[in-house]
Amino acid sequence: MARDPRYDVLFEPVKIGPVTARNRFYQVPHCNGMGRSYPSSMAAMRRIKAEGGWAVICTEEIEIHHSADHSPWMGGRLWDDGDIPVLARMCDGIHEFDSLAGAELNYAGMMSANRYSRQAPMAPSHTPVASFDPLQAREMDKSDIRNMRRWHVNAARRAKRAGFDIVYVYAGHQLSTVSHFLSPYRNRRSDEYGGSLENRARLLREVLQDTKDAVGDTCAVALRFSVDELMGDIGFTSEGEGRDLVEMLAEVPDLWDVNISAWENDSATSRFKSQGYQDDYVSFVKQVTTKPVVGVGRYTSPDAMVSLVKNGTLDFIGAARPSIADPFLPKKIEEGRVEDIRECIGCNICVSGDHNFVPIRCTQNPTMGEEWRRGWHPERIAPKSSDDTVLIVGGGPAGLECASALGQRGYTVTLAEKSSELGGRVTNECQLPGLSEWGRASDYRAYQISQMTNVHCYLESPMTAQSIAEFGSDHVVLATGARWVASGIGRENPMGIKTSEAARVLTPDDILAGQTSNGPAVVFDDDHYYMGGLIAEKLRHDGVDVIYVTPATEVSTWTHNTLEQHAIQVRLLELGVKIITSHNLNEIRENGVVLHCGYTGKATELECNVCVLVTMRNPVDDLNVTLDVSKFKSVTRIGDCFAPSTIAAAIYSGHGYARELGEPQSDGVPFRRELPALAGDFLQEK
Ligand SMILES: Cc1cc2nc3c(=O)[nH]c(=O)nc-3n(C[C@H](O)[C@H](O)[C@H](O)COP(=O)(O)O)c2cc1C
Ligand code: SF4
C-alpha cells in the first residue's frame, strides 16, 4: 500500500550538522538492561529499529570514564579502546539500513556510586551521591575539570571510531555532571564555574566546543537538555533559565534534543500523562535556534506527528517507548499501514528491565529484548510446520497474542471467549482510573486477528471439557486467566487472614465488577504493583473513605520500577486516602480489621464496612483438571492461567507458545547467552 500523502512531511530528510537523517523518526537515547553486558542483544535490538525505518537510533547513556561508573546498571561504556567493538557492532547494524547512530556520552558524577571501580565520584560541590550509598562526591578542582573535558574528548573520538554519526553531550534529567554544574541547587561554587547562569553553563559550553573540535568534521554534536525540571523556581523552567540556556547556546550544538526532567516526568506513564505532554514546555526551542530540534511525548499518532512538524514545534519526532512497542512504526506509516501500528500503552514495564539489570521487556512487543537471544523478529515469524489446528480458550491478553501470532504463522485457530468482549483482564482493568490506554493491548490484537481468515473468533462461547473434546482440534490452549483470592493468602499471610463470617470482604475482581462500599473501606495491598493503589483511588472516586494498608514501607512499592511510585503516593494523599505502611492485616471482623505493626507487632484496630484484599491471584485452570488430555496432541496453559503475572508476561507467554508450536523442544536453555570471554592470564602480575 502507498503511504498517505498527508504523512509525506515525516519522510523528508533532515540535515544535522555534517550528517543527514533520511526521515524525521528519531529514536532518542534509551537504556535497555542489555548495554555492555549483553552487547549482541543490544545491537540486534537497535538494528531492527533501523530496519523498521527509524532514521536515527541512539544508544543509552554511555559511561565515558571509570570514575563515573554506574555498576551494576547495564548501560553503555567507553572507558577505553576495549569498549569500542561492542558499540561498533551496534553502529554496523544501524548503517545496514542507512540510518544514523547516535552515542549519548555521559559523565554521571554524583549519580554514580562507582561500586565497581571504587573511585571517588566527583561533583561541582561536595555532596553525598544520589543513591543511599555511604559515599560523597568530592568537589572538582580546576584540574578535575580539565581532566573531565579531556575524557569526554577521548570518548567522543572513540565513538567516532566505533562508527557513530551523532555524538551527544548530555545535560538532561539531572543525571550528568554538566547538568549538575548547570543546576542552581547543586552547584555552590564561587569560581567562574558557579554563580550566574553564564558561569554555570561554562562547562557545558566548553564540552560542546571540545566535542565539536574533536569529531565535528564528520559527526553531528547533539545536546540533550531538559528545559524544565517541574520544580518551580528552584530548578530550570521553560520560561526561566531553561529558555535562557537555549538562547545562550542556540547555535552551538548541531541538534537540540529537548525534554523535561526528572526521568519520571520525562517518561511519564499514561496513568498520569497523555501523548504530547511535553509540547508546551519545549515548543519555544525552535523559535530561538535555527538548529534542528527533537522532542518526545509518547508520540504514536502520525497525525499528531505531522502537526508537530507543520506547526513548527519539532523537526524530529523523538521516541523511546513508541519505538520499543513498535520498532516498525515508521515503516508502517510509510507503507500506508497505520492501523497496524502497535501503540505503546504507557505502562513503563520497559523501564523495569533496566531497573533490575536484565534485558528490556515490553507489554505490547513481546519480541523486545529477544531479537538476538531467541531470534524473535517483531514483524516476521516462521510459517507453520504442520496443518494442525488449535483451539484457544480465553480471549485475554495471552489468548489474543497467541491467536494473532499463530494466525500469522498460518495455523488454523479458533478462539473461544466466554464473555461478549475480547480482552479479558485488559478490558476490565482499563476501566480503572488512568488506565484507558492499556486497552490498546487488546485492541491491537483484536484488530490483527479480525484481518486473518484463518483465525475464527467466537464470543459468548464458554467452553467445557466436553465441548472442547467435541470440537476436536489437535491442540488446546487454555488462556482462562486468574482471579484474585478472598482468603488473604499472599506474601505476608501465607496461611490466609482470619476472617469473621459476618465480615464483608471484596477482591479487585468484585470492585471491577461494580461492587463498592457504603461506608469506610480498608484496602490491604500485599501485591505492591498498581492494583492496590488503583482500587483505593477508584473507591475514593466512588465517594468512599479509604484506608490503604500495606506491609511495605510505601504505597505500590514495585512501581519504582515503572517510575510511578512517587506519583501514585501523591495521588492517594491528594485524594484523601489515609495511608498506613509497615503494617500487616491479621484479622477481619464484622465492622473492622486488626493490624499489626511490622516492626513492634503492636496491634491497631480500624473500623470499616468493607475490606478489599489485594494479595494474590489463583489461576482459573479447572479445564486443565477436567480435560481428557489423551484426546489431543497437546493441552497447554498460557498466561495467568498458568502463572499469574503482569499483562506483559501474559502476552509474552502467548507469543512464546505460538513461536514454539511444532518446533523441536529440549531441556536446554531456551535462548542464546552471551558468556564472558576469559581475559589474559589468571592472577597476572603487573
Ligand atoms: C526504558 C527507558 C530507558 C531510558 N533511558 C534513557 C537514557 O539512557 N538516556 C536518556 O537520556 N533518556 C532515557 N530515557 C528517556 C527517553 O529518552 C525519553 O526522553 C522519554 O522516555 C520520553 O520519550 P517517550 O515518550 O518517547 O518514551 C529512557 C526511557 C525509557 C522508557
Ligand atoms: S513496556 Fe509499556 S510503556 Fe514501555 S514501550 Fe512497551 S507498552 Fe510502552
Mutate to test the pocket of ligand 2, among 344, 430, 646 (most ligand atoms within 8 A of CB): 344
Q: Is 278 in the pocket of ligand 1 (CB under 6 A)?
A: no
Rounded to the nearest 10°, the torsion over CA 111, 86, 356, 572 is 60
Mutate to test the pocket of ligand 1, among 230, 259, 267 (most ligand atoms within 8 A of CB): 267
Q: Is 540 in the pocket of ligand 1 (CB under 6 A)?
A: no
Q: Which ligand is nearest to the CA of 60?
A: 1
Identify the pLDDT of residue 231. Answer: 96
Ligand 2 atom closest to Cα of 368?
6
Angle between helix 84-95 and helix 39-51 axes, rounded to 10 deg: 20
The residues annotated as belonging to the active site are 31, 170, 173, 266
DSSP string, 71-140: TTS--EE-SSGGGHHHHHHHHHHHHTTT-EEEEEEE--GGG---TTT-PPPEESS-EE-SSSSS-EEEEP
- Report the phi/psi class of residue 480: left, alpha or beta, with left for phi > 0 and alpha for psi in -120 to 50: alpha
* CA-closest residue to ligand 1 atom 25: 298
- Cα(179) to centroid(ligand 1), Å: 17
Identify the pLDDT of residue 397. Answer: 98
Contact 576, 493 (CB under 8 A): no
Identify the pLDDT of residue 686. Answer: 54
Ligand 2 atom closest to Cα of 345?
7
* CA-closest residue to ligand 2 atom 6: 362
The residue type at 197 = L
pTM above 0.85, yes or no: yes
* CA-closest residue to ligand 1 atom 1: 351
Sign of CA dihedral 311, 316, 317, 320: negative
Contact 369, 49 (CB under 8 A): no
Query: 215-230: b or e for each residue (b if 16 or more CB lie within 10 Å)?
Result: bbeebbbbbbbbbbbb
Residues with CB under 6 A from ligand 2: 321, 324-325, 344-350, 362-364
Q: Is 68 in the pocket of ligand 1 (CB under 6 A)?
A: no
Identify the pLDDT of residue 684. Answer: 63
- Cα(338) to centroid(ligand 2), Å: 18
Q: Is 330 in the pocket of ligand 1 (CB under 6 A)?
A: no
The residue ranges of the chain whose pLDDT is under 50 are: none
- Cα(389) to centroid(ligand 1), Å: 42
Strand partners, 14: 21
Which residue from 75, 64, 149, 161 is spatially nearest to 105, judged by alpha carbons? 64
Ligand 2 atom closest to Cα of 648?
1
- Distance CA(9)–CA(309), nearest Å, equals 8
